Structure 1
Amino acid sequence: MPVHNSDIAEAFRRLADLLEIEGGNQYRVRAYRNAAATVEGLPHDAARMIEQGADLSELPGIGEDLAGKIETLIETGELPLLEEVEGRVPEGLAEITHVSGIGPKRAWKLYEELGIETIEALRKAAEAGEIRDIEGFGEKTEQNIIDALGRFEGGEKRLRLMDAEHIAEPLLDYVREIDGVKQAIIAGSYRRQKETVGDLDILVTAKRGSDVMDRFVKYDEVDEVVSKGETRSTVVLQSGFHVDLRVVAEVSYGAALFYFTGSKAHNIVVRKRAIDRGWKLNEYGLFEDNERIAGKTEEEVYEKLDLPFIPPLLRENRGEIEAAENGELPDLVQLDDIRGDLHCHTKWSDGKFTLREMAEAAKDKGYAFLGITDHSKSQTVAGGLSEDGLAKQIDEIDELNEELDGIRLLKGSEVDILENGKLDFSDNILAQLDYVICAIHGGFNLSREKQTERVLRAMDNKHFNILAHATGRLINERAPYEIDLDRIMTEAEDRGCFLELNAHPNRLDIDDARCKMARDMGLMVPIGTDAHSINGLETMRFGVAQAGRGWLEAKDVLNTRAPDELLKLMRR
């Protein structure tokens, strides 16, 4: 069975968690975490890269040993070292460490003292008041654990969009190459580019006699064939993904694509529009009595209902029908509109490449600028810069800008917002930067009121420009911390600050609803990849899709501007 990047990253991350719980060497633990992040951020499947002759040991943070482990995983589906460590450490402890406030040492302590090795056992012990008596915990910590469990996103998970893409696109290519297939597309939440995807719906048109169904169920990642018919088959892939493949008549293709793309809420409103005209709309077409009056294309269906084509990104019943009626659908921002990236890291902190290498990669993408935002001093685990270190980086950027042609490096920093609301650097060094991105990287358990005040106090600093990943969520890993984002956005608009749309597939923070809210209130949104490598710059497309789901046009996105105009807009 093929092994995807998400499988490799999960194996390395799990190995790192278990080794850390065991008290293993921190450099070794960090190496596995870095390897997981590197593989997870690759724009192509590692398995395909190996097939094409790529040397994975040349990837940043990988090396020969880890490259060998990746190849073993791809070839056998197993990682012997992980199996060995799993034999020593209860498997549930790794998940417990993902609960906010419980690190590896506390997880091991809970196991030793109370035998806790599952989330449910942790919940029961906390609610029974058994944790407070363990040395180093106490009543407040116990309550924090209860609160964190209330926010914990455990259980069955939908795949992140990028992980779904790594699975879906090779499958779609396989289907399109089947003899007799004319059209093939993936509908559903995948086509709407939602941040997570639960299953796949593939629609095809095919010549009579095509063996598309026989070939589909023989795809090499199929783990189980749930059903197989002439027009519909359902399989479960090794990843756990359910995939439906439907063969539809060409005359019904547009109606089927509309129906299976969704969302359900959008479809209900459009079907009601048909009913109001005495018609019926389903996956086979738009009908007046028994006569099909539209259905070959989506455009034909919308046009017959007196609507322009509504992009799939907008189909959530959040006002798109009314906007379409009034000729006010947004001209959604496109990847080509982006002039540069405002959030990336280099070897100066926890990035994998030099300033020059990141600049050249940005230039190759056609960018006019690249913002350098390495971590501040409190982020010791991420190699955060001291003020002297940042001053040296500023000098190096100035020197590089004298040499670089066609790309400009902007001087920035990702500065920690401390729990008291102060910034991690002095005003003296911040004043030397082009702009400042501010972020919360700890203290997630503060109350909603205190977390909000923390950010507002930070915004009082005149050097504060952008709030990064505003809710702190990690998709499928960590729930958002408590914060009054409505108030934060209002205050940001008043003070001339901005909220980032972090394009990293783990974050996509702020979400689409907040992007639309920002648009409606006139608050521009910067999109940053949070790239820690050259490959990380490629995730801008996920941020642009999220921005589109939030109705953002190019004029609503900060980094669609040339550098000088951009810096003018950020000046407070």
Structure 2
Amino acid sequence: MPIVNSDVAGVFEEIADLLEVQGANSFRVRAYRNAAHMLGELGTNIKSMIDRGADLDALPGIGPDLAGKISEVVRTGHCALLDELRTQLPPAVTELLKIPGIGAKRARALHQALGIGTLQDLHRAAEQGRLRTVQGIGPKIQQSILEATAIRLKAPRRYKLSLATQVGEALCLELSRVPGVLEVQVAGSLRRQRDTVGDLDMVAAVERDSPVMDRFVSAADGRHVLSKGRTRASVVLASGLQVDLRAVPRESFGAAWLYFTGSKAHNIALRQRAREAGLKLNEYGVFRGERRIAGDTEASVYLALGLPFIEPELREQLGEIDAALSHSLPALVQRSDLRGDLHAHTRESDGRESLEAMAAAARARGLEYLAVTDHSPRLALAHGLDAGRLAQQIDRIDALNARLDGIVLLKGIEVDILEDGRLDLPDAVLRRLDLVVGAIHHRFDLSRDKQTDRLLHAMDHPCFSILAHPTARLIDERPGCDFDLPRVIRKARERGCFLELNAHPARLDLNDIACRMAKDEGVLVSIASDAHSSVEFDNLRFGIGQARRGWLEPGDVLNTRSLGALRSLLSGTMDKPPPAQRVGAAVNVRTTAESVDPGTPSR
């Protein structure tokens, strides 16, 4: 099993957690945590970099010591420092840090006072009322811990797209080299680009005597073999992610890929359609009687059922088959459609690179413009910019644009939306910007009505451009804020402002349902990386996947526009384009609920 970036990131994250629980120097903890974050988002495979002799010290935040540990993990699958830390504390104690209300100091106190080292230990102690014997834990905190641990222990574990993507791509490359493997692809919820993945499904087209299953389950550190047969096998990786591989002959590959991609509801609908036509559909093909009439490609399966090809992200039985029958499937947005990125940070706040470096990285990825949106002063931990520092950055961006070639930097800010809906900077400096990205970073617990009023008030500000990561959720860490989403979307339409789909795999916020709601209301969505370093521009791929799940076409996305068209939209001078009629696969600007087939059920 190849070592992938997420494996090394997981090692560094666990080191950071264990050091923090021990009370180690905060700068040392932060170094490991930053390195874990960077590796988790790095678009280049770290093992490939080492194999070709690349200088790991050149990576953001990586010095000689961390570079050596990266090489150690890639080379051996282990890290001596982590092994040593695990002898001092139970490794599962790091799971406690994911429970709201438990930080490093409290986890250390719970371990020292009550011997708590796992989530199960914590849950039992909360049930028995023993947490209150630890200083600082009262009845209310004990009850919230009890509820949080109950939810976490009951819920099946799901994994972020970044981890599953790294594993899937590495395995595809590895298995494609096995003799007799003709093609291998990821399937399941990863291929459908769901925001999290429960397990990883893979499908391979193979010749009869291929040793692909032996190679797949061959011994490797940190892996458990659940099953192995001639055509299927399942393993569990050190991360806990289960990977299932199915091998089929070439003539069945398309049918198998479609079947194992799902969703279950989509597959049931296809099988029902096959039965109505007197056909049989399964993972081996489409059959009329005993004769296979399709199955080598997915397109052949759909054609045999009287349907055009349906993109994987749409296969959720949420109107896609009706849309296919009425020839109104959307021409989904692609990464190549993006002409810019409207949310990125530099080292002026909590980013890790300079204006120049971020501009060069965006240009190298084919972007024509980049909005610099460092934090405002309310977010003190991010070293946010006050009015004076922002004014200085505005001048630096103007000077840099005068000598930049191939890309334009837009002057922006990610301004905190305060509890009462005011923006965290004076109007005088906001008016000097090209765009203002508003975001919630505190008081996530306001009531539904208060949170809604907070957002509506912020969006009324004449300088407000885009609502960033609207629900403020962090996948597997923090649920989204509770507010009236339809009201906020309607407000954006009325005000002529926009909503962000934050592409960071820990956010993916807006989600697919909200994207489709925005499309129905004619509100444009900005697909933004929220990059804090140059490598994080690659996160745009995850935002594209989410947008496609939300049926978004290029015309539904703000940053597919040219710079001139974008400036007009941001300044409010462009009239809203009329609803467009679809002609073939042409790109149309969609601005009303006609963007989605009228027969499509509401989400």
| TM-score for the superposition, normalised by structure 2 | 0.87
- Find the counterpart in structure 2 of residue 294 from structure 1: 294
Q: How far did residue 241 of structure 1 move? A: 3.6
Q: Contact 1:127–1:146 at 8 Å: present in 2 too? A: yes
CA separation in 2, counterparts of 1:551 and 1:261? 18
SS in 2 for 1:243: strand
Q: Contact 2:119–2:153 at 8 Å: present in 1 too? A: no
Q: How far did residue 544 of structure 1 move? A: 0.8
Q: Contact 1:152–1:479 at 8 Å: present in 2 too? A: no
1:149-298 counterparts in 2 under 5 A? Answer: 156-218=156-218, 223-298=223-298
- Find the counterpart in structure 1 of residue 589 from structure 2: none
SS in 2 for 1:506: coil
CA offsets 1:56-99 (integer angstroms, 9 cap, x no match): 12211111121122222333333333344444455555333323
- Find the counterpart in structure 2 of residue 303 from structure 1: 303
Q: How far did residue 333 of structure 1 move? A: 0.4
CA separation in 2, counterparts of 1:221 and 1:561? 48
SS in 2 for 1:306: coil
* Pair 1:15–1:252, CA change in 2 (3 A): closer
Q: 2:13 is matched by which residue type in structure 1?
A: R
- Find the counterpart in structure 1 of residue 75 from structure 2: 75
* Pair 1:144–1:444, CA change in 2 (3 A): farther
Q: 1:523 is matched by which residue type in structure 2?
A: V
SS in 1 for 2:343: coil
* Pair 1:352–1:301, CA change in 2 (3 A): same
The number of aligned residues is: 572
Q: Does 1:487 align with 2:494?
A: no
- Find the counterpart in structure 2 of residue 364 from structure 1: 364
CA separation in 2, counterparts of 1:110 and 1:209? 55
SS in 1 for 2:323: helix
Choose 290-299 or 431-440, whichever is displaced more. 290-299
SS in 1 for 2:258: helix
Choose 558-567 or 210-219, whichever is displaced more. 210-219
- What is the alpha-carbon root mean square deviation over aligned residues? 2.7
Choose 116-125 or 543-552, whichever is displaced more. 116-125
* Pair 1:332–1:449, CA change in 2 (3 A): same
Q: 1:432 is matched by which residue type in structure 2?
A: R
* Pair 1:143–1:568, CA change in 2 (3 A): farther
Q: 1:173 is matched by which residue type in structure 2?
A: L
Q: Contact 1:182–1:205 at 8 Å: present in 2 too? A: yes
Can you give the 5+ residue segments of structure 2 that lack an aligned partner in the other structure?
573-603
CA separation in 2, counterparts of 1:157 and 1:106? 24
SS in 1 for 2:200: strand
CA separation in 2, counterparts of 1:516 and 1:564? 26
CA separation in 2, counterparts of 1:52 and 1:345? 30
Q: Contact 2:182–2:250 at 8 Å: present in 1 too? A: no
- Find the counterpart in structure 1 of residue 436 from structure 2: 436
CA separation in 2, counterparts of 1:238 and 1:109? 28
Q: How far did residue 108 of structure 1 move? A: 4.1
Q: How far did residue 413 of structure 1 move? A: 0.9
CA offsets 1:497-526 (integer angstroms, 9 cap, x no match): 322111111211111121112112211110
Q: Does 1:560 align with 2:560?
A: yes
CA offsets 1:202-237 (integer angstroms, 9 cap, x no match): 333333433333333337578344444333333444
| TM-score for the superposition, normalised by structure 1 | 0.92
Choose 472-481 or 130-139, whichever is displaced more. 130-139
Can you give the 5+ residue segments of structure 1 that lack an aligned partner in the other structure?
none
CA separation in 2, counterparts of 1:503 and 1:571? 24
SS in 1 for 2:525: coil
Q: Contact 2:95–2:118 at 8 Å: present in 1 too? A: yes
SS in 1 for 2:29: helix
* Pair 1:406–1:310, CA change in 2 (3 A): same
Q: 2:371 is matched by which residue type in structure 1?
A: G
Q: How far did residue 406 of structure 1 move? A: 1.7
Q: 1:464 is matched by which residue type in structure 2?
A: F
* Pair 1:152–1:206, CA change in 2 (3 A): closer
Q: Does 1:413 align with 2:413?
A: yes
Q: Does 1:55 align with 2:93?
A: no
- Find the counterpart in structure 1 of residue 575 from structure 2: none
Q: 2:431 is matched by which residue type in structure 1?
A: A
CA separation in 1, counterparts of 2:149 and 2:12? 25
CA offsets 1:154-213 (integer angstroms, 9 cap, x no match): 865232222112212222122222223223222222222222223333333333433333
- Find the counterpart in structure 1 of residue 466 from structure 2: 466
SS in 1 for 2:166: helix
CA offsets 1:338-371 (integer angstroms, 9 cap, x no match): 0011111111112121111111121122211001
Q: Contact 1:222–1:235 at 8 Å: present in 2 too? A: no
* Pair 1:3–1:184, CA change in 2 (3 A): closer
Q: How far did residue 319 of structure 1 move? A: 0.5
CA separation in 2, counterparts of 1:92 and 1:434? 47
* Pair 1:19–1:337, CA change in 2 (3 A): same
SS in 2 for 1:413: strand
Choose 196-205 or 157-166, whichever is displaced more. 196-205
CA separation in 2, counterparts of 1:444 and 1:149? 20
Q: Contact 1:151–1:479 at 8 Å: present in 2 too? A: no
Q: 2:32 is matched by which residue type in structure 1?
A: Y
* Pair 1:129–1:274, CA change in 2 (3 A): same
Q: How far did residue 412 of structure 1 move? A: 0.7
CA separation in 2, counterparts of 1:152 and 1:385? 37
Q: 2:553 is matched by which residue type in structure 1?
A: E
Choose 73-82 or 402-411, whichever is displaced more. 73-82
- Find the counterpart in structure 1 of residue 331 from structure 2: 331
* Pair 1:458–1:145, CA change in 2 (3 A): farther
1:94-105 counterparts in 2 under 5 A? Answer: 94-105=94-105
* Pair 1:110–1:199, CA change in 2 (3 A): closer
CA separation in 1, counterparts of 2:180 and 2:126? 60
Q: Contact 1:529–1:540 at 8 Å: present in 2 too? A: yes
CA separation in 1, counterparts of 2:481 and 2:150? 11
Q: Contact 2:126–2:145 at 8 Å: present in 1 too? A: yes
CA separation in 1, counterparts of 2:427 and 2:386? 14
- Find the counterpart in structure 2 of residue 18 from structure 1: 18
- Find the counterpart in structure 1 of residue 551 from structure 2: 551
CA separation in 1, counterparts of 2:561 and 2:181? 43
